């Protein structure tokens, strides 16, 4: 081999070593970048969070505040986000020592899946504070969960506070399940509840709520007790009006005689509502025929 050939081989070998070293360095650089990226995903800085995540984190920190209004405002802001992840943060506030905070937390859970929200709220029906039980009842109605029916029926029957019983009755109407009709009819029934002075022993708002909820559910099983309420002159006008309206919503022709009688009463509002209910029933009958 000539000296020229020898020099060429030497140059080629050097170039090959340099190329191989370059490849190794490039691969090492890729590996380092991948490692850094992986760590960045695990240890996200605040600047890498989305605006929603930042807001939730901010309100989460405020829930640890010693100021009641800070915690309450944080829950209202979480509720306003209408996101499941925001509602999950609010779960911790159900055990807050302050009633108003627990009551506010009840509404902040409503973006959770309905059954999960109901399961979290049901224990609040046993809360020692009246306002918490009331607000938990209303919140359960908004979940539309059937799991809440039995606990709400229990509140409508046994709670010592009219505000809680009324809230439970309203919630049952919002859920709209026919299994609550018997309990609601029991609440609305005025048999034996009128005194000689013409006053009912039952709370007017509870009675009105029961009539309204029966109308929302729309079951014909509620018609007899609604007719009874409509025909009871001892009841407050608002209760009788709500009964007339509910009968119109249900649309059972069996209510026509009672509604006709109510349509000619001196109470102009009751007369108008009864007349509208009669027209609704007639329209429904025409559609069916």
| CATH (domain of 282) | 1.25.10.10
Q: In this structure, how many other beta carbons lie within 10 angstroms of the beta carbon of residue 263? A: 17
Q: Which residues pair with 223 in a beta bridge?
A: none
Residue 199: the pLDDT is 45
Residue 1 is assigned to a structural domain of this protein: no
pLDDT single digits (tens) 211-265: 999 999 999 999 999 999 999 999 999 999 999 999 999 999 999 999 999 999 9
Residue 208 has pLDDT above 90, yes or no: yes
Tokens found for residue 256: 């026509």
How many Å apart are CA 34 and CA 206, to the nearest integer? 65
Q: What's the pTM value of the predicted model, to 2 decimals?
A: 0.79
Residue 73 is assigned to a structural domain of this protein: no
What is the total count of domains within the chain? 1
Torsion of CA 153, 155, 158, 161, to 10 degrees: -140
How many Å apart are CA 269 and CA 172, to the nearest integer? 26
Residue 65 is assigned to a structural domain of this protein: no
| Full domain range(s) for residue 208 | 176-289
Provide the pLDDT confidence category of residue 78 given band limits of 50, 70 and 90: very high
Residue 39 is assigned to a structural domain of this protein: no
Residue 4: the pLDDT is 44
Provide the pLDDT confidence category of residue 49 given band limits of 50, 70 and 90: confident
Q: Which of 141, 156, 166 is nearest to 238 (CA)?
A: 166
Residue 20 is assigned to a structural domain of this protein: no
**More confident call, 44 vs 134:** 134
Residue 35 is assigned to a structural domain of this protein: no
Residue 14 is assigned to a structural domain of this protein: no
In this prediction, residues 128-148 reach a mean pLDDT of 98
Distance from CA of residue 177 to its chain's centroid? Answer: 16
Residue 244 is assigned to a structural domain of this protein: yes
**More confident call, 8 vs 206:** 206
Q: Which residue has the tokens 């081989």?
A: 9
Residue 19: the pLDDT is 53
Residue 286: the pLDDT is 74
């Amino acid at each position: 081999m000539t000296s020229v050939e020898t020099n060429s081989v030497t140059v080629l070998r050097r170039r090959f070593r340099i190329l191989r070293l370059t490849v190794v360095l490039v691969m090492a650089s890729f590996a380092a970048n991948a490692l850094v990226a992986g760590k960045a995903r695990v240890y996200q800085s605040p600047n890498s969070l989305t605006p929603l995540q930042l807001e939730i984190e901010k309100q989460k920190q405020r829930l640890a505040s010693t100021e009641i209004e800070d915690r309450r405002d944080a829950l209202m802001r979480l509720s306003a986000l209408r996101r499941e992840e925001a509602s999950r943060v609010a779960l911790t506030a159900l055990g807050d020592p302050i009633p108003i905070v627990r009551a506010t937390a009840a509404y902040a859970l409503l973006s959770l899946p309905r059954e999960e929200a109901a399961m979290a709220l049901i224990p609040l029906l046993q809360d020692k504070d009246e306002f918490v039980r009331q607000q938990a009842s209303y919140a359960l109605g908004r979940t539309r969960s059937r799991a809440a029916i039995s606990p709400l029926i229990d509140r409508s029957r046994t709670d010592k506070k009219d505000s809680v019983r009324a809230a439970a009755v309203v919630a049952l109407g919002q859920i709209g399940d026919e299994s609550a009709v018997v309990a609601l009819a029991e609440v609305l029934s005025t048999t034996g509840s009128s005194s000689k002075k013409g006053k009912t022993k039952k709370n007017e708002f509870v009675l009105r709520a029961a009539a309204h909820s029966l109308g929302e559910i729309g079951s014909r099983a509620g018609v007899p007790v609604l007719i009874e309420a409509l025909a009871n002159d001892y009841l407050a006008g608002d209760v009788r009006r709500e009964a007339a309206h509910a009968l119109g919503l249900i649309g059972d022709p069996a209510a026509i005689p009672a509604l006709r009688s109510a349509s000619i009463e001196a109470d102009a509002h009751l007369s108008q509502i009864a007349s509208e209910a009669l027209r609704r029933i007639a329209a429904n009958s025409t559609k069916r025929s």
